[in-house]
Amino acid sequence: MIGDVVESAIEAVLSRAGISFRKTKRAERVAGFDQAPDFIVPDEFNSQVVIEAKLTEDDGTARDKVTRVQHLASLSMQGRQLHEPPRFEVIACIAGRGFKVRREDMKKLLLATRGKVFTLSTLDRLVECSRLAEFKTR
């Protein structure tokens, strides 16, 4: 599948850093998530970082993914006060021209992830620029 390009790149980055992760399957049910993210670090029992990955060539699909990331961000704050940190960090890894079409969607994505948006060209900084650095073993 086309979207596997982004997911495979994320897997490679996490594996090189020795980070333990759980990659979910399509339409899989994961406790605590009504829609499972693509990756959970270290695992679904102790979610500290979740990663959504998407390659899209149209703005409609991009808009759907932005909504999904916003929902994950709201789940991370569920039961928290505004001054408290989120339960887990939300990261988006994106590719394709669909994300370049609507600037407003990109703004929403950046706000929902607190700036943790990576592209294939910036994926080499995924670990060092996020909480993933806390889980690095290599």
Number of domains in the chain: 1
CA proximity to 131, closest of 39, 41, 45, 71? 41
Per-residue model confidence as pLDDT tens digits over 45-63: 999 999 999 888 777 778 8
Percent of the chain with pLDDT over 90: 70
3-state secondary structure of 8: helix
| Amino acid letter for position 132 | L
CATH number of the domain that residue 59 is part of: 3.40.50
Percent of the chain with pLDDT over 70: 98
User: What is the pTM for the complete model shown?
Assistant: 0.92
**β-sheet with 22-23: strand ranges across:** 22-23, 39-41, 49-55, 89-95, 117-119
How far is it, in rounded angstroms, from Cα 98 to Cα 125? Answer: 22
Q: By residue range, what is the domain housing residue 49?
A: 4-134
